[in-house]
Amino acid sequence: MTLSLSELFMRFGVALLLGILVGLEREHAMLEAKTRHYGGLRTFALVALLGCASAMLAETVTPWFLPTSFMIVGALILTTYALSALRGDKGLTTEVAGLLVFITGALVYWGHIELGAALAVAVTVLLSLKLKLHDLVARFSTDDIYATLKFGIITAIILPILPDQTFGPLDVLNPRNIWLMVVLSSGITFLGYVLLKFAGSQQGIPLAGFLGGLVSSTAVALGFSRQSRAQDPSLTPLFALGILIASSTMFPRVLVEASVVNPQLAATLAIPLLATAGTGYVICGILWWRHHTAERTEQPVTATNPFELTSALQFGVLFAVILFVAKAAQVYLGDAGVYLSSIFSGLTDVDAITLSMARLSGTAVEPAVAARAVVLAALANTAVKAGIALALGSPALRKYIAVTFGALFGVGALAAFVFIPWS
């Protein structure tokens, strides 16, 4: 690999900056703890440059230059670790970080700049979150560990071995897709619990709602509704807020999906979808303000792990049933059933119907019909989430959902009626 002088300077400069990034964190940690270890800002910067230079010399001089340099650096780090261990400091974090920074420098020289940067940032984040991560682990119980293992089983073991093909009447039931919804439902519920432990209820639940809304707002509604019954009643407003944030985030997500496939359809959908999302976010702001006004300091909450395999399986069965009904409506009603099939499709998922209408708009389906079909699917999905919360949530949660989702549904329907042309 022959590089120009400017390209060489650029890559060595990137390696230097990434080493400085990690070194800054280590230097700051030493100043805060008033201790010393082998590596600070200058050391990590030099290690990154050494990794970059070793990768270059391995190409131009001998392939053995890189592994030899790595072993020398490793020996030096091992020596400093042994000296630190004699003083009672047996942690290996800084030592391992030094080796990773060496590898980062080599990756940057080889042209994997994005990967090297991601590795350096990940190392820095993990180093800076030491106390937070230790605190999080201290908060986990034995039941939490078992729940994590069960989630790992359904995600990493069961999901990959399920067949990725359709079976049964209408050829619509795909075991892997159905189980993926089980994983999403369980994962978002589990994410909310971890964030609650990590960031506290005031930030963890709303954050989980937003992140869940980018993937599956239905799964958020299911998970948080169940938790509203099991957790401290003081968390009910936050569970309602999390569900509403997820549901509001669904509308701009649909708009982005439509704009990628069919910008013209997205332009027609923009006002109805953004108006509905804006209404939801305004209500979220009001809920957040009222909760913090009524309770200025976060109260200690006894949180229980919400992961239940039985509930996840029940959700999978429900998803499969609704998926079959939606497909039946689409097959047997044909073009005349566009609206009805959109409503049925929206009962489980808005992404599939959005992408389908975006492809068909202007060809097999009139643009206005396609736009109304997407809005109907989104509103049907909103109604399903409201129904989940009303059926599975605590009595206090139902009051929040009835009012907030009523406003959300009303604005969406009115905006679609006014701003989507009828001819």
Q: Looking at the predicted structure, is the pLDDT value of residue 299 above 50?
A: no
Domain identity same for 107 and 212: no
Confidence of residue 121 (pLDDT cuts 50, 70, 90): very high
Same domain, 284 and 414: yes
Residues 87 and 210 in one domain: no
| Beta strands per DSSP E along 200-316 | none
Q: Is residue 326 part of a domain?
A: yes
Task: Identify the helix (H) or strand (E) that includes residue 37.
Answer: none
- 135 inside domain: no
Residue 92 sits in the same domain as residue 147: no
pLDDT-derived band at 378, boundaries 50, 70, 90: very high
Handedness of CA 104, 108, 109, 111 (dihedral sign): positive
pLDDT band per the 50, 70, 90 thresholds, residue 193: low
Q: Is residue 175 part of a domain?
A: yes
Q: Is residue 76 part of a domain?
A: yes
- pLDDT score at 296: 44
Parent domain of 194? 141-419
Residue-wise pLDDT tens digits, 332-368: 776 567 788 788 878 877 877 787 788 778 776 788 8
One domain, residues 90 and 165: no
Residue 160 and residue 100 in one domain: no
Residues in Cβ contact with 76 at an 8 Å cutoff, skipping those fewer than 6 apart: none
In this structure, are 185 and 271 located in the same domain?
A: yes
Same domain, 348 and 407: yes
pLDDT per position as a tens digit, 209-264 = 787 777 678 878 888 888 888 777 777 888 888 899 989 989 998 898 888 888 99
DSSP state of 96: H
Residue whose C-alpha is closest to residue 286's, from 400, 390, 382, 396: 400
Does position 301 have pLDDT exceeding 50, yes or no? no
Instruction: Cite the DSSP H helix spans in 334-366.
Output: 338-346, 351-360
Q: How confident is the model at residue 114 (pLDDT cuts 50, 70, 90)?
A: very high
In a domain, 136, yes or no: no
Which of 128, 161, 194 finishes a domain?
128
Asked if residue 134 belongs to a domain, the reply is no
Q: What is the pLDDT of residue 70?
A: 93
Contacts of 291 (CB under 8 A, 6+ apart): 237, 238, 241
**Domain end (from 128, 160, 180):** 128
How many folded domains does the chain comprise? 2
- 306 part of a folded domain: yes
pLDDT at 302 over 70: no
Q: Are residues 213 and 151 in the same domain?
A: yes
- Which distant-in-sequence residues (6+ apart) come within 8 Å of 344 by Cβ? 322, 325, 326, 329, 330, 380
**Are 190 and 277 contained in the same domain?**
yes
- Same domain for 233 and 315? yes
> At which residue do the structure tokens 């970059």 appear?
52
Predicted TM-score (pTM) of the model is 0.56
133 inside domain? no
Q: Which of 128, 157, 188 is the last residue of a domain?
A: 128
Residues 315, 392: one domain?
yes
pLDDT higher than threshold 60 for residue 297 = no
